[in-house]
């Protein structure tokens, strides 16, 4: 085949009409108020709703959905997340999203902090890429959807009678996560235990400020059928947590002490595992990297979430076959999820077979 013949055969491919990626991309952002089924109380705050940032990215006729749930502790809110996303609009509207990793690196270079904004963009790009390549994201990562873990359902702090009602409502979930860390810990656990014998996991959210108190609390929790405890002491108290770890059998999981990939190496010796959240690290690509680092260092992997709709939770769920533990109940704690597609049955995460995240807006 000479050059002219080759050009006649293959050159014609270039003139087949197709939708270009790059010029003409659109990016829409909106803040959505997610209503909580119950007032949500932790050591940090108490609230009736959460505002999250929703992103729709369209290129070549394909739309990817993303969500960022800003974390108050890191001085982020939905408005600051929206401003951060808008600050890179030029990047998104001109780039080729098939190069999502390159694009993500550019976004990380341009935006300081604002990890919920980064997560919203990363999730939208990954959803777009999955749809473009025609694969669900767990398949893109080479994972088996049968390997998803059971997610815990979280019981927030409340008065004993409300706690008992919440535990009864969570009947379908085989493992519960209980929030502690205030001076009502014993009351909380006693209220849960008066209703169920299920295994429990406990999150102290940095609540215990003294290492002797932490050891005493953990020993008591051990006698109450608790499997592990998340962030027993303040994030910066790594030496104290290492001291505690030498004195208790229960695994200790870092949450507030572990935000980004660079945080992981220094946790070895203090914690047995890490709770990775897309909203702390800035999305699926960064979370995947954290999972690999944790594994290389012999740490257990937990995947967690914030109060989020099915978009944010689905993004974490797509990676969940890689996790030992999941706490992916954010979408189950709200009453007005704008998206559908992700299901949980008796606690087991059921990943959709549709390309990308596998979720769609309810009104569509």
For Mg ion, the closer of residues 158 and 230 by Cβ is 230
For Mg ion, the closer of residues 136 and 273 by Cβ is 273
Residues 107-126 that bind Mg ion (CB under 5 A): none
For Mg ion, the closer of residues 44 and 79 by Cβ is 44
Q: Which residue has the tokens 């998206």?
A: 339
Task: Report, in Å, the least distance between residue 299 CB and Mg ion.
Answer: 16
Task: Report, in Å, the least distance between residue 231 CB and Mg ion.
Answer: 6
Size of the site for Mg ion (CB under 5 A): 3
- In the stretch 227-266, what mask flags binding to Mg ion with x, by CB under 5 A? ---x------------------------x-----------
Residue 329 contacts Mg ion per CB under 5 A: no
Judge contact between 271 and 229, C-beta under 8 A.
Answer: no
Task: Report, in Å, the least distance between residue 203 CB and Mg ion.
Answer: 4
The angle that helices 284-296 and 310-319 make with each other, rounded to 10 degrees, is: 30
For Mg ion, the closer of residues 158 and 255 by Cβ is 255
Contacts for 330 with CB less than 8 Å, ≥ 6 apart: 69, 305, 306, 307, 308, 309, 312, 313
Task: Report, in Å, the least distance between residue 275 CB and Mg ion.
Answer: 6
For Mg ion, the closer of residues 255 and 337 by Cβ is 255
Two tokens, residue 129: 């890429």
For Mg ion, the closer of residues 76 and 203 by Cβ is 203
Closest CA relative to residue 274, chosen from 291, 289, 262:
291
For Mg ion, the closer of residues 198 and 277 by Cβ is 277
- Name the strands in the sheet holding 200-203, side by side, starting at the edge strand that comes first in the sequence: 153-155, 176-179, 200-203, 226-230, 252-254, 273-277, 300-304, 325-327
Task: Report, in Å, the least distance between residue 271 CB and Mg ion.
Answer: 12
d(CA 87, CA 89): 6
Burial environment of residue 27 by CB neighbours within 10 A (0 to 12, 13 to 18, 19 or more): buried
Nearest 5°: CA angle at 142, between 133 and 91? Answer: 45
For Mg ion, the closer of residues 167 and 276 by Cβ is 276
Two tokens, residue 268: 């070895």
Residues 212-231 that bind Mg ion (CB under 5 A): 230
Near Mg ion by CB under 5 A, which window of 108-116, 126-134, 196-204, 346-354? Answer: 196-204
Q: Where are the alpha helices (DSSP H) in the chain?
A: 3-10, 78-86, 89-94, 100-110, 115-133, 137-140, 160-169, 185-193, 211-222, 238-245, 278-281, 284-296, 310-319
Residues 35-94 that bind Mg ion (CB under 5 A): none
Judge contact between 259 and 281, C-beta under 8 A.
Answer: yes
Residue 203 contacts Mg ion per CB under 5 A: yes
Near Mg ion by CB under 5 A, which window of 34-42, 202-210, 235-243, 278-286? Answer: 202-210
Task: Report, in Å, the least distance between residue 280 CB and Mg ion.
Answer: 10
d(CA 91, CA 249): 49
For Mg ion, the closer of residues 47 and 94 by Cβ is 47
Of all residues in this chain, which one has the CB nearest to Mg ion in the complex?
A: 255
- In the stretch 128-147, what mask flags binding to Mg ion with x, by CB under 5 A? --------------------
Please compute, for residue 196, the number of CA atoms within 13 A of its CA located in the half-sphere on the CB side. 24
Residues that bind Mg ion (CB under 5 A): 203, 230, 255
């Amino acid at each position: 085949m000479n050059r002219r013949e080759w050009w006649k055969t293959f050159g014609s491919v270039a003139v087949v009409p197709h939708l270009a990626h790059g010029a003409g991309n659109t990016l829409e952002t909106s803040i959505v108020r997610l209503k909580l089924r119950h007032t949500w109380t932790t050591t940090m705050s108490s609230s009736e709703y959460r505002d999250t940032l929703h992103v729709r990215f369209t290129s070549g006729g394909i739309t990817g959905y993303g969500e960022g749930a800003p974390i108050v502790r890191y001085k982020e809110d939905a408005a600051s997340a929206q401003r951060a996303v808008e600050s890179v609009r030029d990047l998104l509207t001109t780039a080729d999203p098939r190069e999502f990793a390159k694009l993500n690196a550019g976004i990380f270079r341009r935006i300081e902090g604002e990890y919920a904004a980064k997560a919203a963009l990363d999730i939208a790009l990954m959803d777009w890429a999955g749809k473009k390549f025609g694969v669900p994201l767990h398949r893109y990562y080479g994972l088996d959807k049968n390997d998803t873990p059971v997610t815990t359902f979280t019981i927030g702090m409340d008065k004993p009678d409300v706690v008992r009602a919440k535990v009864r409502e969570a009947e379908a979930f085989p493992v519960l996560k209980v929030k502690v860390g205030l001076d009502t810990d014993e009351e909380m656990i006693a209220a849960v235990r008066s209703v169920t014998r299920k295994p429990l996991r406990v999150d102290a959210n940095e609540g215990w400020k003294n290492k002797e108190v932490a050891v005493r609390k953990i020993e008591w929790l051990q006698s109450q059928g608790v499997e592990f405890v998340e962030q027993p002491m303040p994030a910066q108290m790594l030496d104290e947590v290492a001291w505690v770890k030498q004195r208790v059998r229960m695994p200790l999981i870092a949450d507030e002490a572990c935000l980004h990939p660079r945080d992981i190496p220094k946790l070895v010796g203090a914690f047995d595992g890490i709770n990775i959240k897309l909203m702390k690290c800035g999305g699926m690509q960064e979370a995947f990297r954290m999972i690999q680092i944790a594994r290389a260092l012999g740490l257990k992997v937990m995947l967690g979430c914030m109060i989020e709709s099915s978009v944010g939770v689905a993004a974490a769920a797509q990676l969940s076959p890689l996790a030992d533990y999941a706490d992916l109940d954010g979408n189950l704690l709200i009453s007005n999820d704008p998206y559908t597609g992700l299901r949980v049955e008796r606690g087991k995460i059921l990943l959709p077979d549709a390309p990308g995240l596998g979720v769609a807006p309810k009104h569509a």
